[in-house]
Amino acid sequence: MKRQRNTKIVATLGPSSSTYDQIRALHEAGADVFRLNMSHGSHEEIAERHRIIRQVEADLDSPITILADLQGPKLRVGTFANGAEMLEQGASFRLDLDETDGTDKRVRLPHPEIFAALKPGSMLLVNDGKIRLKVEKCGPDYADCIVEIGGEISNRKGVNVPDVVLPLAALSEKDRKDLAFVCDLGVDWLALSFVQRAEDVAEARLLARGRAAIVAKIEKPAALKTFDDILAASDGIMVARGDLGVELPVHSVPPVQKRLIRACRAAAKPVIVATQMLESMIESPMPTRAEVSDVATAIYEGADAVMLSAESAAGKYPVEAVTTMNNVAISVESDPNYASILEASRHVERSTVADGIVLAARNLAETADVKAICCFTHSGTTAALVSRERPRLPILALTPLVSTARRLSLYWGVTCATTGEVDRFKMAVVNAARAARQLGFATPKDSIIVTAGVPFNQSGTTNILRVAPCEERLIFSIEPG
C-alpha cells in the first residue's frame, strides 16, 4: 500500500481493535505495523489477531509487519490486609520476603534478587514513581526504607529500581513460552522488554533462531550505559518512554530520545518512539496540541516509526488516533524545512562498497530526474542502507521473500513488494520498473534508480546501481545479450 509519508505507524491491538473490520480499518487509515502486546490476552486471542492481520494482508495485497511485544520481568509488591495503605512522607517502611499481608509498616516484595542488589541510598519507585522510597538499611531478605514521596500503595503495584543493575534475566518463564508461541505463529519482530545489557538480546536471539528480528526496548537507565553494545546486538530499538520516564528525571527523556534516534539512524537500524504519544485520544476524538507536537518532534528527528499503545488497543477512537498520527506525519514531511532538518542530523560513517552505492543513489535522487529508488534485496540489507540515507525520493524494496518484505515495512520510507527470484541484474531492473509503474511511483515516461547485489541471493553484496527507464520495451536493451 503506497503511503503519502515515510514515517511508519505502529498500532497496538486489543479489545478496541480485534475484529477483521477494525484491523482492516486501522491499516487503511495508516497503520503499517501491528503490535501484539503479550502482557494482555491469551495465546488463543493472540493467534486470532495474527490470523486476521494476515487475512487483511492477503485481501489488500499489502505486506504488514507484526511485532510481538514480550512482557518482561514484572516487579511487584504483594498484597495488603486492607487492600491499600497510605504512606506518609518521612515514615519508615519495610520491604521483605514475609508472605503475610502488608500493613502501613511493611509489605512483601517477592524478589530476593532485588535485595541482593540493593545498597543503602538506592531508590525504589512504586506505582509508576508516584511513591519514592529510599533504602536506609538492607539485607538478603529485607530493605528498610524512608518514604521520600508518599501516597497510596495498594495490591501488586509495580516497582522500579532505577539506579541498580538487577541480576534479572530479560526473559521470564512466561516470556520464553510466549516467544516460542509467536515465533511459531510467524511474527516478524520481537520486542524485548527491560533490556539492561547486550547479553539479554543475545538470549532472545538464540531462542528465536532467526524466525523474527529483535527490537530492544530501552526503558531502564542501565540500558543507556550499555546502549552501544545493545544497539550492536539488536536489529532495532524502541524508545519506551513510559518506564524510562519513571526511572529517569522526566526532563532528561527528550535528550535521550534524540540521542538514541540518531544512533539508530547511523547504524541503519529502525527506531520506534513509543508511549503516551496521543494519550488523550483514549477518551477524546481529538488530541491535545502538546501531543501533536510530541509526535511531530519524533518525526522531525527522523524516527522510523511512532507508536500507539492504549489509544488503539483499548481507546474509544482507535481509527481516529491512527488517522491523526498519519495526518501529523504527512504535515511534518510536507514542511520545506523537514529535509534540511533530517540532513543536519544525518551522521554516517561509511566504509563499504554498499555504503558508497546507497550514498550515490541518494545523491542521484537529488540531482537527476528520477522518481524512485528501487532496491532489489534478499535479506533486506540494501533497503535498510538506503533508508538510513533518508532520501527525498520513495524507496521501493523488491524481494522474493515475503518475510523480508514484512520486516522491511518497519523501516522509514520503505514500500515493499514481493517479486520472483532473479539471477540477472537485467531482470531485477525489469521487475523494478514494472513494480514502480504498478504501485504508482513512476509512469512509462519516467526513470528510476535500481540498486542490487551481484551475485544475487547473498546478504551484504550491494554493489551495483543503474538509472533505468520505466518503459518496458526499452529495458531489455540496457544490457547487451
Active site members: 35, 76, 217, 275
Three-state SS string across 196-219, please?
CCHHHHHHHHHHHCCCCEEEEEEC
Cα distance between residue 244 and residue 264, in whole Å: 18
Angle between helices 20-29 and 318-334 (to 10 degrees): 10
CA-nearest of 293, 278, 385, 392 to 10 is 278
> In whole angstroms, what is the distance from residue 424 CA to residue 432 CA?
13
Measured at the alpha carbon of residue 476, what is the angle toward residues 474 and 481, in degrees to the nearest 5? 140
Reading the block at residue 180, the C-alpha cell is 516460542
- The grid coordinates listed for 101 are 499481608
Name the DSSP class of 73. Answer: P
* CA 373, 375, 381, 384 torsion-angle sign: positive
Q: Taking the CA atoms of the chain, what radius of gyration do you get in angstroms?
A: 24
Going from the C-alpha of 86 to that of each of 89, 148, 270, 286, the distances in angstroms are 10, 13, 43, 36
C-alpha cell of residue 135:
533504602
Of the candidates 245, 266, 267, 211, the residue with the CA atom closest to the CA atom of residue 68: 211
